[in-house]
Amino acid sequence: MKVAVLPGDGVGREIVPEAVKVLKAVSNGRFELELEYGAIGMSGVEATGKPLPDETLAMAQRCDAILFGSVGGPEYEQWLRKNKVRSGLLQLRRTLGLNANLRPVRPIRELASVSTLKPEVIDGLDMLIVRELSSDIYFGEPRGPVESANGERESINTMRYRESEVRAIAHVAFKAAQQRNRRVCSVDKANVLETMQLWRDVMTEVGREYPDVELTHLYIDAAAMALLRTPTRFDVIVTGNMFGDILSDEAAMLAGSLGMMPSASLAPGGKGLYEPIHGSAPDIAGRDIANPLATILSAAMLLRYTLKRETEAVLVEEAVRRVVAAGTRTGDIMETGCTQVGTRAMGDAVVAALAG
C-alpha cells in the first residue's frame, strides 16, 4: 500500500506528522505501508514555483491514497491571485477525478458539551454529508477576475452542472445510504436557480433506482436552519460543491470544533484523498496547539475506504474516542477538569491508546 503524504501549509505541517505516527502504529505488524512525501500549496510554490509541483502530481497518481493536511494563508492567496493560478488542491482534485467528498458528522458523546448546541439536540447524531467536489461554481466557465466595466469593478463566476456529474454523486449518496439508515436528503436551490432544477430532476430520477432509500429535498436556506434545529433528522445529505462547503463547516460546529472533522474525497476508481475539513489556520500555525484529531480520523477513513482495513479504521476511531473521553484535550475542545495538551502530545496519546 502506497500513501502519498502532503502536509501542505500552516497547521498541515504539524497535524499530518501526528496522523502518520498513528498510521505507522496501527499498520505495524499488520500490513506494509509505504509513505512518500510531497510539497503542495505555498510549500509547493517555495520548492518549485508551482502550487501543485509535477512530482507531487505524479506521486499522487501512482499512490493508492493521499493523506493531505491543508493549503492556504494570506501569502498563498496573494500569490495565486497575482499569478492567476488555481489552488494546488483544486488542481489535484480535478486531475485525480475526486468527485465525491464524504464528511461524516458523528460527535463523540464525551464532547457534547463542547458544542454550542444543547446536548439533547445533538444526542445520537450520525450523519454523512456527501458533497459534489469536481464541478459547480468553483469550476464553471465563464469566470473572470475583477475588471473595470462601465466605470465600476465587475467580476463573474458561473454555477454549472452537467447531468452526468449530478448522476455520479447521486449514486454515491444512495449507495452510502443503503449502508446506513436508507434516507437521502438532497439540498439545492431549485426555486431560484436553473442549475439546481437540473440537480433536483436528476436526483429524483436516480432515486427511482433505489426504491429502498427514501429521498427528500430541501432548499439550502431551509437545510442550514434544520441542521441547527433538528440535526438528528438527517442520515445522508447530498449537495453541490459550494453548498456542501458551507453546510459541512456548519455541521462541524455540531461536533464541537473544526479540529474534529475528517473527510474523504473519492474518485470513481477508488483512489482517495483524506484530509481534515479545516484550513491551514494561520492564526495558530507553528505553535503546537492545533488539534490533530480531524487528520487522525481522516487517516481512519483512508484505512476504511482505500486500504479496505475496516478493523484498523475502527481501532483508530476507538483510540481517539478513548483519549477524548479520558479528558486529554487540545485548546479548541478544552473543558474544565480536562488536561490541555499540544498537537504532538495529542498524537502520542492516540498512539498510546492504540497500544493499550
Binding residues for Mg(2+): 221, 245, 249
Q: Which of residues 291-320 bind ligand NAD (CB under 6 A)?
A: 291, 294
Return the sign of the alpha-carbon dihedral for residues 94, 47, 302, 258: negative
Question: Is 206 in contact with 130 (CB distance < 8 Å)?
Answer: no
Q: Which is nearer to ligand NAD, 73 or 231 (CB)?
A: 73
Q: Would you give the distance in Å from CA 301 to the centre of its chain?
A: 11
Interface residue with ligand NAD among 284, 297, 300, 341 (CB under 6 A) is: 284
Which residue positions form the known binding site for substrate? Answer: 93, 103, 131, 221
Residue stretches of the annotated binding site: 93, 103, 131, 221, 245, 249, 279-291
Q: Mark whether 201 is an active-site residue.
A: no
Question: N- to C-terminal Cα distance for the chain?
Answer: 26
CB crowding 131-167: b at 16 or more within 10 Å, else e:
bbbbbbbbbbeeeeeeeeeeeeeeeeeebbbeeebbe
CA angle 57, 60, 66 (to 5 degrees): 135
Examine the residue annotation and report whether 126 is marked as an active-site residue of this protein. Answer: no
Nearer Cβ to ligand NAD, position 46 or 77? Answer: 77
Contact stretch for ligand NAD (CB under 6 A) within 72-80, 102-110, 111-119, 309-317: 72-80
Q: Which stretch binds ligand NAD (CB under 6 A): 109-117, 161-169, 224-232, 272-280?
A: 272-280
Contacts with ligand NAD in 242-261 (CB under 6 A)? 258-259
Taking Cα atoms as reference points, which of 234, 133, 247 lies closest to residue 183?
Answer: 234
Rg of the chain over all Cα atoms, to the nearest angstrom: 20
d(CA 290, CA 211): 44
Active site residue 332: no
Q: Which of residues 206-225 bind ligand NAD (CB under 6 A)?
A: none
Verify binding: residue 290, ligand NAD, rule CB under 6 A. yes
According to CB under 6 A, which one of 7, 44, 51, 72 is a site residue for ligand NAD? 72
State residue 50 phi and psi, 5-degree precision: -130, 140
Alpha-carbon distances, residue 354 vs 66, 198, 277 (angstroms): 22, 47, 24
Q: Which residues are catalytic?
A: 138, 189, 221, 245, 249
The residues binding ligand NAD (CB under 6 A) are 11, 15, 70-73, 77, 89, 258-259, 275, 278-284, 290-291, 294, 332
